[in-house]
DNA sequence: ATGGCCATTCGCGAAACGCGAAGGCGGTAG
DNA sequence: CTACCGCCTTCGCGTTTCGCGAATGGCCAT
């Protein structure tokens, strides 16, 4: 009924706990943790007393986990990992870093826009640090809503309640192909006219894939799709190998296409113009560092900046 | 350079930290945490000393977070949440629970198989507790690989290195429709012959959706798909409302279909027979409770039980 | 039977912790 | 301009916690 006082947990006890579990013996664990075995024993038995549950089975060979102990160390490991992450991050502050911003972004932005924007940001703010993680658009939204990061950058298609989205950039999808492809040089294309060729694309969660499925359905045709690859560079190499054509953002093509001698054609469809947004949680204020970064990103040349609630 | 000693962190300090951040004042926070303000002040300044970083800006109105402080409380909240979860779970052991098993499962299994299997399991093991969480198949695999749960149940299509998969059940996908639908009563169907009707389905990450996309492509046709809904019950209600037909597992149909007066037709395609597997990590031993549950699930009547590595 | 390995208990000293009182600093009201 | 008020910090003291080493008892293999 009554819950254990969570303050009773000390991180050293948790470390000791996993050490004992891993070493199989209290004495070995205590040398590993640089503590007298007597002290270690006391810590553990005090913990078990407070929990009113035995965590280990004792015998002459050492200590093995009880079921309760197994649950315990799973949580313990998780907590210790979080604590270590915290410690690492804080030590960066000590060495001059003045702010952390966590970003989730979809692949297009990471390849097309973010590097330059972040580079210019770091010139002005060498004391800030940004952690950037790639996710498909829908999971960017979820991640922000769940508090895993401060800012999210993704296509505006996905939706999630409780978030505020601000337009960041607009881009266009273009069709990448080999220079000797039949479609090369035939001018702006309707997506429907490309459906007789094999398409290459990212994983099924990507917004480009989702969007092209819808378009194919509207054209009452099927999307031929033999190959999924993990990144735009892989997409382009696959196109280069004559395995198909691919729908990619125009800025991405400008970066990857020329060096692989690829050709591109514009897409005439409306939905080829995409809106890329920066999302943040609506219910709590951004940290100063995140505000700085947000302001910087929105002040980039293509800035639009109309705020609006998402969903 | 050198990292802060993580043992320096005590959970009470972390709790105090978020209290101060939320209350905006050390004195208010100290009454909330039932501690003298002097002691609270000491805890915080000791922490800042150890970190060699200031976490708060002090002024006459109270205390506000510095950038470092903002990072800190994000981690602190996460750690405290984990600690509270741990405490809650451990208190269950104190009240007689003898083991915990965490399961990730895809929707089909949760609706079709798991309830009965778990029910019989609990009759034999009333002292064990199971935490069940729904995820699409691909994320079940990931979750197990990352150690978020002990056992995963999902379709065998997805793959992930480092996991061991055991066949759990086999099921078939059938086509659910209204009794007055044109396809009703026309005998076993080829999936390709159903593509001229609107399909209803789960979200895009579901393995059924992925599979039917492939099948549509192989038939060189498009999958008409107007509606995504969040669960099988919603799928069936949508079918009932004459918005389309739906591909669902046969056991799910048996549960939901009759009460909604729906009709079903078998699917002749090979891929309609699906294999549902139980996956677990290959690199570490299961807890005793998880072993029990695994054995129980595999001893169900349809048991197959051929072990093999995944990926 | 005996020695090795293992965990626990005990007493003592040191360090950490919490508390209340006193002090300094900055706004604000009269 | 001064007096006050709220806020955080510092200080000294008593209590509690913590860690250590030595001694104890159990189990197993030789």
Best mutation target among B68, B100, B192 (most A Cβ atoms within 10 Å) is: B68
Residues A135 and A281 in one domain: yes
Cα separation, B79 vs A80, in Å, equals 9
Is pLDDT at B65 greater than 70 in this prediction? yes
Same domain? For A85 and A151 the reply is no
pLDDT tens profile B130-176: 888 888 888 899 889 888 899 999 999 777 788 999 999 999 999 99
A70 domain-assigned: yes
Task: Identify the band that residue A122 occupies on the pLDDT scale cut at 50, 70 and 90.
Answer: confident
The pLDDT tens digits of the residues spanning A154-197 come to 998 777 788 999 999 999 999 999 999 999 988 899 999 998 88
Q: Which of A45, A69, A94 is the last residue of a domain?
A: A94
Domains in chain B: how many in total? Answer: 2
Q: Is the pLDDT of residue B225 over 50?
A: yes
- The distance (Å) linking the CA of B3 with the C1' of C15 is 23
Residues A76, A111 within the same domain: no
Query: Containing domain of residue B90, as a range?
Result: 6-94
Bigger pLDDT: B166 or B241?
A: B166
Whether the CB of A101 is below 8 Å from some CB of chain B: the reply is no
Residues 6+ apart with CB under 8 A from A8: A47, A50
In a domain, B179, yes or no: yes
Q: Which of residues 33-62 of A touch B (CB under 8 A)?
A: 51-53
C1' of C7 to CA of A52 (Å): 19
CATH number at residue B37: 1.10.10.10
Q: In terms of domains, do A88 and A110 share one?
A: no
Q: Supply the mean pLDDT for chain A.
A: 86
B67-94 vs B11-23: helix crossing angle, rounded to 10: 130
Asked whether residue B280 is assigned to any structural domain, the reply reads no
Q: How confident is the model at residue B97 (pLDDT cuts 50, 70, 90)?
A: confident
Which pLDDT does position A187 carry in this prediction? Answer: 80
Q: Does A158 touch chain B (CB under 8 A)?
A: no
Instruction: Please say which residue of B94, B124, B159 terminates a domain.
Output: B94
A1 domain-assigned = no
* Confidence category of residue A305, pLDDT binned at 50, 70, 90: very low
**Residue B246: is its pLDDT beyond 90?**
yes
Q: Of A7, A80, A223, which is closest to B12 when you measure between CB atoms? A: A7
Residues A122 and A255 in one domain: yes
Instruction: Identify the pLDDT of residue B301.
Output: 53
pLDDT at A300: 65
Assess if residue B228 is contained within a domain. yes
Mean pLDDT of A1-5: 52
Residue B189 lies in a domain: yes
- The mean pLDDT value for A73-96 works out to 88
- The 3-state DSSP class for residue B132 equals strand
Q: Which of these three, A94, A112, A141, is where a domain ends?
A: A94
Phi/psi for B216 (5° steps) reads -65, -40
Q: Are both A86 and A230 inside the same structural domain?
A: no
B294 belongs to a structural domain: no
Distance B291 CA to D29 C1' (A): 32
Q: Are residues A90 and A101 in the same domain?
A: no
User: Nearest C-alpha of chain A: how many angstroms from B306?
Assistant: 27
Would you say the C-beta of B44 is within 7 Å of strand D? yes
Q: Do B68 and A51 touch (CB under 8 A)?
A: no
The β-bridge partners of A174 are A248, A266
Q: What is the CATH number of the domain that holds B220?
A: 3.40.190.10
**Cα-Cα-Cα-Cα dihedral sign, residues B79, B85, B87, B90:** negative
**Residues A299 and A243 reside in one and the same domain:** yes
Please check whether residue A286 lies inside any domain of the structure. Answer: yes
Q: Is B25 on the interface with A (CB under 8 A)?
A: no
Interface contact B13, partner A, CB < 8 A: no
Residues A20 and A59 grouped into a single domain: yes
Contact between residue A72 and residue A9 where contact means Cβ atoms under 8 Å apart: no
**pLDDT above 90 (res B52):** no
The band of A42, judged by pLDDT with boundaries at 50, 70 and 90, is very high
């Amino acid at each position: 009924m009554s819950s254990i006082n969570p303050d009773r947990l000390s991180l050293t006890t948790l470390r000791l706990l996993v050490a004992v579990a891993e070493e199989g013996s209290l004495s070995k664990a205590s040398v590993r943790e640089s503590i007298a075995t007597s002290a270690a024993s006391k810590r553990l038995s005090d913990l078990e007393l407070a929990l009113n549950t035995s965590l280990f089975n004792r015998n002459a060979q050492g200590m093995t986990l009880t079921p309760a102990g197994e649950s315990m160390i799973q949580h313990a490991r998780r907590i210790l990992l979080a604590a270590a992450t915290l410690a690492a991050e804080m030590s960066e502050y000590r060495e001059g870093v003045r702010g952390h911003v966590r970003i989730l972004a979809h692949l297009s932005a990471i390849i097309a826009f973010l590097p330059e924007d972040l580079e210019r940001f770091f010139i002005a703010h060498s004391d800030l640090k940004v952690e950037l993680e790639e996710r498909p658009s829908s999971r960017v939204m979820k991640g922000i809503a769940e508090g895993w990061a401060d800012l999210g950058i993704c296509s505006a298609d996905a939706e999630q309640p409780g978030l505020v989205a601000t337009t960041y950039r607009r881009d266009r999808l273009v069709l990448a192909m080999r220079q000797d492809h039949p479609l090369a040089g035939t001018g702006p294309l309707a997506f429907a006219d490309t459906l007789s060729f094999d398409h290459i694309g990212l994983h099924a969660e990507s917004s480009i894939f989702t969007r092209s499925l819808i378009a194919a359905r509207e054209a009452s045709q099927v999307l031929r799709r033999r190959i999924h690859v993990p990144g735009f560079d892989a997409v382009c190499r696959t196109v280069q190998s004559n395995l198909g054509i691919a729908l990619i953002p125009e800025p991405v093509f400008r970066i990857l296409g020329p060096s692989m001698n690829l050709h591109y054609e514009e897409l005439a469809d409306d939905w080829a113009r995409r809106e890329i947004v920066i999302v943040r949680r609506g219910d709590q204020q951004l940290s100063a560092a995140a505000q700085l970064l947000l302001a910087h990103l929105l002040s980039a040349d293509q800035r639009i900046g109309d705020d609006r609630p998402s969903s």
